[in-house]
Structure 1
Amino acid sequence: MSASCPASPRALSLEAALARLLEQAPTPSTSEPVALAAALGRVLAAPLRSPLAVPHWDHSAMDGYALRHADLAAADGWLPIGQRITAGTVGTPLAPGSAARIFTGAPVPEGADTVVMQEQCERDGERVRIPPECKAGGNIRHAGEDFAAGTEVIAAGTRLGPQHLGLAASLGLAELMVRPRLRVAIGASGDELVAPGAPLGPGQIYDSNRLTLGAMLSALGCEVIDLGRIPDDLEATCATLARGADAADLVIASGGVSVGEEDHVRPAVERIGTLALHQVAIRPGKPVAFGRVGDTPFFGSPGNPVSLFVTCALLVRPLVLRMQGVGGDLAPRRLRLPAAFAWPRPDKRREFHRARLVEDDSGQPRVEVFASRSSASLRSLVWADGLVDLAPGVTIAPGDPVEFIPFTELLH
């Protein structure tokens, strides 16, 4: 492996940029009740404590027979069947020297201390033979075995998934207190942009950035406000960003954040707000901007579609999650796997290249990269299923370990 010169000292490292974003991210202070069925993807506002013990009462973990284990010795294993208990019904106290036919989930009758699964038993009419080697106390889930009443079962700041809603439903809860949806205003800068479906004129391209960005934010549970195309004009840019700041909790614009004569987004933010950072030492995505328009946080991404995608995955996603009230570590999980590629000409910046997993001849996963480094190739994002994190100035040979970040960790 070899090393080359470092990135520009003006550009912050990804970690430093992210720390700055999260330090300045406002966190929500209000909450609202939502029906359980509408709470998917919302952020829990307060710790959820169970109103009851789980299980609520002793119940059978198997279809089988409930009995008092001490009765087996005197009965030579044969016991009369005194009752039948199905899930949703409650039996009577177990008569001495008898067994109860019982089904999974049914309450264990008073007096029984063991359930034996039906496959181990021999039934003869209204009596059953229980194997003498059966374990005393087996196959019963006892009240409070999972947790006692009052136990915290979901932490505040948790983004609710299907499993959380299932748990809440099992506790009898019909609604949860969650944080309000984050409102994000988005716009794309550039006179060359045309809405999909409209005819293209000379020098024009279809605007993919607003749809990509809006979809990424919707997947994070945001309410998206579309500001439309932002003209290549400073006054119009200022007006559009100000309109977004009035309507939303966060404003995001793609394009116009570099230093060209027609890049008006960054100067507009400096005029009507404040700029906290404007370069990150990564490829793609070096020219980004973060600050405020009035009191509203602002993020500006590069205009190239891959750069937009990468900067939103690495920087906007954790910013949005923190502003939604999500707690804890927001870093995506990574997989350390062998490379299925050579990287002889590394960039001086840290590079997040489009990649996907493939299997080698032995069936083990390896990381393959897209052939082109172009940040304009949306096809590369469809081809890929993640990003590979490549250190600046470091060459890679096939088989060297690399860090792969699946899209599943970056898009929700």
Structure 2
Amino acid sequence: MSSHWLSLEEALTKALDAAKAIADTEQVSTFDANNRVLAQDVIAHIDVPPWNNSAMDGYAINVEDLKDDCSPRLEVQGVITAGMKADEPLQKGKAFKIMTGAPMPANANAVVMVENTSSENGAVLINKVPRLQENIRKKANDIACGDTLISKGTRLHAEHLMLLSSQGSSTVEVFRKLRVGVVATGSELAAPGETREATQIFESNRVGVSSILQNENVELIDFGIVADDEASLRALFVEASERVDVMVSSGGVSVGDADYVKDIIAELGAIDFWKVAVKPGKPFALGQINNALFCGLPGNPVSSFVTAKLLVVPIIKKMQGESKVHEPFLVNASITTSLKRRAGRRDFQRATMVKNAQGGWDVTPFKTQSSGVMTSITSANCLMIVHENVSELKKGDTVQVMPLHF
């Protein structure tokens, strides 16, 4: 295990290399598949549309019947609505009244929008002659049999599930849910709702980390709070390694006398790294216990929050089988104040971003950036990124920001 501080990119590369995707799959109802990861390509077996159909409410006609030497008045042959068959071919000099989505009759080669017509004693007057094939949706112009509709590794959302349903699918094969354990370590911690000793604080990291990971649709197992006791911690991590795919711990990964977590993980398995050149969040640890991946978050609430978003979420996505482990959504903004700091770590400063008069973004970092001040997260709507080599920013400089909610 190296004591070298890794850049965020180096840490992410190592973490994603260690994060092996699960292989187990299951069939679930499309109604239960939102935010699950697709386990195999979905191939179209039905053309969409399955036949030529009308794109408008109007009249199905043959444009040859509307040449200059012909009357724009056509007898209405009948009505075709969506869901009907169009068995009767269009006769010369006539029109079918047709509804959106209804199948086109044989011999018809255009649809006149109803707005471009007038009715007259069982006939229709064509006030604007359509082009050949105008307002007709061709068979298979959206989806053709054999098309790959959705690729393996896609995280399914409403639009994907609608597409599956349009193919008649009521179930879909997805990777099983990732099992993720969450624990907080520290004798100074008391569980919310329980009695707190005078020397304790209420623990907050588990619920924050759990909420972040619930957005990824994992199966969460809460291992509670474990005191700074080597035997208890060892027993906890052995149990967790047999029950979960990923174990996320907060606290105990720094260099204090009671910070046992790293040593215990190294003893039971291995620690790959534990220093990342980010602020807040330097003492983030990655390791392995049996078949479980271990993520050790710092104990400070803001550090835990930031490293969970920057490092744990991509790990979870990779292990769930997602083919594209999305990078954070970033936008450029103009800083509204000057800033000086000690270069060396990438700084994710809590800040607020607002639209300016030019349609761009202005960002204002908070004066207090302590990793123990949780109100700086609840008051912020973004993290302003100051890169490693930057020691000074001037008012108006362009910086990257990561919106916290978008």
Q: 1: distance between equivalents of 2:10 and 2:131?
A: 59
Match of 1:57 among 7, 31, 51: 51
Task: Determine the structure 2 residue equivalent to 1:90.
Answer: 85
Q: 1: distance between equivalents of 2:152 and 2:367?
A: 43
Q: 1: distance between equivalents of 2:300 and 2:343?
A: 18
Cα deviation 1:85-120 (Å, max 9, x = unaligned) = 111222322122111111111111122110111111
Task: Determine the structure 1 residue equivalent to 2:65.
Answer: 71
Letter in 2 for 1:356: T
Q: 2: distance between equivalents of 1:285 and 1:10?
A: 15
Greater mean alpha carbon deviation, residues 121-130 or residues 140-149: 121-130
Task: Determine the structure 2 residue equivalent to 1:212.
Answer: 208
**Are 2:278 and 2:348, in contact at CA under 8 Å, matched by a contact in 1?**
yes
Query: SS at the partner of 2:349?
Result: strand
Q: 2: distance between equivalents of 1:368 and 1:56?
A: 54
Task: Determine the structure 2 residue equivalent to 1:45.
Answer: 39
**Are 2:245 and 2:291, in contact at CA under 8 Å, matched by a contact in 1?**
no
**Are 1:40 and 1:162, in contact at CA under 8 Å, matched by a contact in 2?**
yes
Task: Determine the structure 2 residue equivalent to 1:396.
Answer: 393
Cα distance change of structure 1 residues 361 and 346 upon mapping to structure 2, 3 Å threshold: farther
Match of 2:27 among 23, 30, 33: 33
Query: SS at the partner of 1:144?
Result: coil
Match of 1:405 among 396, 402, 405: 402
Letter in 2 for 1:130: I
RMSD, matched Cα: 1.6
Aligned-residue offset at 1:294: 1.8
Task: Determine the structure 1 residue equivalent to 2:296.
Answer: 300
Aligned-residue offset at 1:256: 0.3
Cα deviation 1:365-406 (Å, max 9, x = unaligned) = 222222311112222222222222211242111221111122
Letter in 2 for 1:407: L
Task: Determine the structure 2 residue equivalent to 1:5.
Answer: none
Greater mean alpha carbon deviation, residues 325-334 or residues 179-188: 325-334
Cα distance change of structure 1 residues 125 and 374 upon mapping to structure 2, 3 Å threshold: farther
Cα deviation 1:321-341 (Å, max 9, x = unaligned) = 000000135312321222223
Q: How many equivalent pairs are there?
A: 402
1:117 aligns with 2:113: yes
Query: SS at the partner of 1:405?
Result: strand
How high is the TM-score relative to the length of structure 1?
0.94
Aligned-residue offset at 1:51: 1.3
Task: Determine the structure 1 residue equivalent to 2:137.
Answer: 141
Task: Determine the structure 2 residue equivalent to 1:158.
Answer: 154
Cα deviation 1:181-230 (Å, max 9, x = unaligned) = 00001100111211212232202111111101111111111100011102
Cα deviation 1:144-170 (Å, max 9, x = unaligned) = 101211100111100111111111111
How high is the TM-score relative to the length of structure 2?
0.95
Cα deviation 1:281-314 (Å, max 9, x = unaligned) = 0000000110101221101000111101110101
Query: SS at the partner of 1:228?
Result: strand
Letter in 2 for 1:13: S
1:275 aligns with 2:271: yes
Letter in 1 for 2:245: D
Q: 2: distance between equivalents of 1:195 and 1:57?
A: 62
Match of 2:309 among 309, 313, 317: 313
Letter in 2 for 1:63: D
Identity %: 37
Task: Determine the structure 1 residue equivalent to 2:12.
Answer: 18
Query: SS at the partner of 2:63?
Result: coil
Aligned-residue offset at 1:361: 4.0
Letter in 1 for 2:79: R
Query: SS at the partner of 2:332?
Result: strand
What are the within-5 Å matches in structure 2 for residues 118-267 of structure 1?
118-267=114-263
Q: 2: distance between equivalents of 1:349 and 1:298?
A: 24
**Are 2:3 and 2:273, in contact at CA under 8 Å, matched by a contact in 1?**
no
Q: 2: distance between equivalents of 1:329 and 1:368?
A: 29
Q: 1: distance between equivalents of 2:381 and 2:89?
A: 59
Letter in 2 for 1:19: T
Query: SS at the partner of 2:253?
Result: coil
Aligned-residue offset at 1:140: 0.7
Letter in 2 for 1:312: A
Task: Determine the structure 2 residue equivalent to 1:4.
Answer: none
Letter in 1 for 2:18: Q
Q: 2: distance between equivalents of 1:9 and 1:360?
A: 44
Q: 2: distance between equivalents of 1:28 and 1:180?
A: 8
Unpaired runs of at least 5, structure 1: 1-7
1:331 aligns with 2:327: yes
Q: 2: distance between equivalents of 1:75 and 1:408?
A: 62
**Are 1:186 and 1:253, in contact at CA under 8 Å, matched by a contact in 2?**
yes
**Are 1:50 and 1:151, in contact at CA under 8 Å, matched by a contact in 2?**
yes
Query: SS at the partner of 1:53?
Result: coil
Q: 1: distance between equivalents of 2:342 and 2:84?
A: 69
Unpaired runs of at least 5, structure 2: none
**Are 1:234 and 1:267, in contact at CA under 8 Å, matched by a contact in 2?**
no
Runs of 4+ that moved beyond 3 A: 361-364
